[in-house]
Structure 1
Amino acid sequence: MEKKVSITDIARKVGVSVALVSYVMNGREKEKRVGKETVKKIRRAAEELNYQPNQIARSLRLGSTKTIGLVVADIANPFFGQFARIVEDEAFKAGYTVVFGSSDEDDIKSAFVLDTLLNRQVDGLIVIPSEGTVKQINGLVRKKKPFVLFDRYFKEVNCNHIILDNYKGTNIATRYLVEKGHRKIALVAYKTSLVHMTERIRGYTEALKEAGIDHTKYLAEIKFSHSYKDFENSFRAFFNKHSDIEALICANNGLSINSLYYIRQNCIRIPGDIDFIGFDGGEPFDLYSTPLSFVRQPIEEMGREVVKLLTDLMNGSTKVSHIMLDPELVIREIRNC
């Protein structure tokens, strides 16, 4: 077995002290006023010897692993995939590596992922909490581990979070469809107690109430499942019962994509048979043959803000921030070119 190269080997090759090599390999050469030529020799020797630093020992010495844990709720949802990419880019700029995990909207798996990340000694966490994980989040508060909740939060836990104004998102979408003259407006959402979804349902129902329209008849609350077949069965039953639907709003990106797939498979025309407003947009919307309207989340800003907030916490900030950002209704009409 090949012997692991140590800083002692580098020191012996260059002819300097072990302490001097340690300063350079830990980025402290300016602080310790190590000469530029000596730094070059040490780094060249480290490369020639194929030196690999002991990250565990380095982390123990510095009290930091320079890693962030990110727990997403459903990695199959394109919105969360895009968010993860932004977080990774922003974390890299701040000098951190991101370790990912997906709870798959399951509280048991969420506990496993969180424990795994904590055991890896991540410096902080960004968590998109699943239903039934309030005790896990309270546990992070008790441990005093720096963390930020994203997309969802629990009203009973006072902690840092960054969310969308979810009420406003569906409210402006519903109002727009009412102004177009629609009365039979459906919303497809997930059946959950999580606040982001209940607020989107509330935004829809309040807009219909204000317009004097029945706010319960065309509301479809579907149980979360990774299986399109499960979605299709629930959605078909809803559509068969309410074949007079004039417009459809989807409460998140995954529901939007599944709904569009069902609509295409069943030769339902957008527009023509129904109007459609999705949530989050993204590439699947651009690939559809008809321009599709959607509620846009400021995901780039959200990603930047969540990493900035977490790095502030990891650097010692004790301020608790509740940040809510505004959605935008993006209307895309058919144009004759």
Structure 2
Amino acid sequence: MARKTSLKDIANKVGVSTSLVSYVLNNKDKENRVGKETADKIRKAAKELNYFPNLNARSLKTNISHTIGLIVADISNPFFSSLARTIEDEAYARNYTVIFGSSDENNDKFIKVLDFLSTRQVDGFIVASPEESRETVLGLKESNVPLVLIDRYFSDIVVNTVMVDNFKASFEATNHLLNKGHKRIGAIVYESTLLHYQDRCNGYLEAMKQAGIVDGTQFLAKVNHQSLQTEIQEAVQKLIFEDKVTAIYFSTNTIATEGLKQIKNVGKKIQEEIDVVAFDENLIFQFLDVHVPFVSQPIKKMGQEAVRILIDQIENKDQGIINVLLKATLETKEKLQKVN
């Protein structure tokens, strides 16, 4: 295992004292009259050297604060806002307060939120990690602060997790369309390093394979989170007019919202000309004239389990690693009818 970067390493790189580095990285540079140029150099060096604060050392300075740090990927996403609400309620029932932030799927912001929460002396973290955050999560885990990853995970980092079986849920969502007689089923997924998104993609491909459609990738469109609207517009047009699909699986509620809009924009009737199914619900579904089947994640159970595991670890440091895998359900009101 590589040696962790220390305050002294940063001090040597910049040419200042370790106490000066400590002031800056603990956001006390202004009160200690550290110049802006020097502070900027220290923060830049810390980032270049992959410095991660010793959160455990900070927490040892006080007793349990009964405060939990929650970091989600995007608080504007209905899934994460509902999850945050559940976690806050469950924590409150156990006499804990939650301080939360959003990384906006950005690792640099994730690090800043982590560092801020650590100054608030939180007892532990519940985290939905963003893209490109493996090293950050590894550093957090190695700091020995109580930690639960929720919704996302890393296959090579042994840590508490609360997950939904994304592969199986995606497999069943695709099967829903296959059982209605569709063969040319498109899927729109994120181009992502996050494993839970890859699990959803693989669940779709496996369902297509078992249905005898060996090369399901021919109907698979991957889109980038940063240019979502444009890429989904292009994907929907290609799937409908070039690939001649009769159904589309949207692997997130955000993708579904934009995808449904694009289906209408190209003049196709949802659930009549183009059948659809989505992963996660969105409020916009309630305003459509047709029902959109969707994978429903057990958000309340996820939040309850994450809080239970974290508080148990806070209050019992010797607790072993716990991995919880929950089952999602497909919510549909329509009867299965074979496509003519």
TM-score after normalising by structure 1: 0.77
In structure 1, C-alpha distance between the alignment counterparts of 2:196 and 2:146, rounded to whole Å: 22
| Residues 1:279 and 1:161: Cα distance change in structure 2 (over 3 Å) | same
What is the CA deviation profile of residues 45-84 of structure 1, one whole-angstrom value per residue up to 9, with x for unaligned ones? xxxxxxxxxxxxxx99961222111111112211111111
2:116 equivalent to 1:125: no
Specify the alignment match of 2:326 in structure 1.
Answer: 325
Larger Rg: 1
Specify the alignment match of 2:205 in structure 1.
Answer: 205
Q: Which runs of 4+ in 1 moved over 4 A?
A: 59-62
In structure 1, C-alpha distance between the alignment counterparts of 2:98 and 2:264, rounded to whole Å: 37
For 2:323, the aligned partner's letter is H
Specify the alignment match of 1:221 in structure 2.
Answer: 222
Specify the alignment match of 1:46 in structure 2.
Answer: none
Which moves more between the two structures, 242-251 or 296-305? 242-251
Q: Is the 8 A contact 1:291 1:334 kept in 2?
A: no
| Residues 1:88 and 1:242: Cα distance change in structure 2 (over 3 Å) | farther
What displacement does 1:232 show?
4.4
What is the CA deviation profile of residues 144-197 of structure 1, one whole-angstrom value per residue up to 9, with x for unaligned ones? 111100111001100000011010011011112112110110111100121101
For 1:177, the aligned partner's letter is L
2:289 equivalent to 1:260: no
Aligned length: 276
Q: Is the 8 A contact 2:257 2:282 kept in 1?
A: no
Q: Is the 8 A contact 1:170 1:201 kept in 2?
A: yes
Q: Is the 8 A contact 1:220 1:238 kept in 2?
A: no
What displacement does 1:282 show?
4.1
Which moves more between the two structures, 279-288 or 88-97? 279-288
In structure 2, C-alpha distance between the alignment counterparts of 1:60 and 1:207, rounded to whole Å: 50
Q: Is the 8 A contact 2:71 2:101 kept in 1?
A: yes
In structure 1, C-alpha distance between the alignment counterparts of 2:266 and 2:201, rounded to whole Å: 26
What displacement does 1:95 show?
1.2
Question: The residue matched to 2:303 in structure 1 has which SS?
Answer: helix
2:238 equivalent to 1:235: no
In structure 1, C-alpha distance between the alignment counterparts of 2:223 and 2:101, rounded to whole Å: 25
In structure 2, C-alpha distance between the alignment counterparts of 1:210 and 1:228, rounded to whole Å: 30
Question: The residue matched to 1:110 in structure 2 has which SS?
Answer: helix
| Residues 1:197 and 1:208: Cα distance change in structure 2 (over 3 Å) | same
In structure 2, C-alpha distance between the alignment counterparts of 1:294 and 1:273, rounded to whole Å: 18
What displacement does 1:216 show?
0.8
For 2:206, the aligned partner's letter is E
In structure 1, C-alpha distance between the alignment counterparts of 2:306 and 2:138, rounded to whole Å: 19
Which moves more between the two structures, 195-204 or 71-80? 71-80
Q: Is the 8 A contact 1:163 1:325 kept in 2?
A: yes
Q: Is the 8 A contact 2:186 2:239 kept in 1?
A: no
Specify the alignment match of 1:56 in structure 2.
Answer: none
What displacement does 1:94 show?
1.2
**Where in structure 1 are there 5+ consecutive unaligned residues?**
1-58
In structure 2, C-alpha distance between the alignment counterparts of 1:277 and 1:265, rounded to whole Å: 18
What displacement does 1:243 show?
5.4
Which moves more between the two structures, 84-93 or 275-284? 275-284
What displacement does 1:109 show?
1.1
For 2:88, the aligned partner's letter is E
The correspondence of residues 116-195 of structure 1 with structure 2, limited to 5 A, is 116-195=116-195
In structure 2, C-alpha distance between the alignment counterparts of 1:261 and 1:298, rounded to whole Å: 27
Q: Is the 8 A contact 2:70 2:101 kept in 1?
A: yes
2:81 equivalent to 1:76: no
In structure 1, C-alpha distance between the alignment counterparts of 2:60 and 2:142, rounded to whole Å: 22
Question: The residue matched to 1:220 in structure 2 has which SS?
Answer: strand
In structure 1, C-alpha distance between the alignment counterparts of 2:292 and 2:229, rounded to whole Å: 24
Q: Is the 8 A contact 2:91 2:97 kept in 1?
A: yes
For 2:218, the aligned partner's letter is K
For 1:297, the aligned partner's letter is Q
What displacement does 1:215 show?
0.6
TM-score after normalising by structure 2: 0.76
What displacement does 1:233 show?
4.2
| Residues 1:314 and 1:234: Cα distance change in structure 2 (over 3 Å) | farther
What displacement does 1:231 show?
4.2
What displacement does 1:116 show?
1.1
**Where in structure 2 are there 5+ consecutive unaligned residues?**
1-58
What displacement does 1:308 show?
0.8
Question: The residue matched to 1:217 in structure 2 has which SS?
Answer: helix
Q: Is the 8 A contact 2:69 2:124 kept in 1?
A: yes
Q: Is the 8 A contact 2:166 2:203 kept in 1?
A: yes
Question: The residue matched to 2:209 in structure 1 has which SS?
Answer: helix
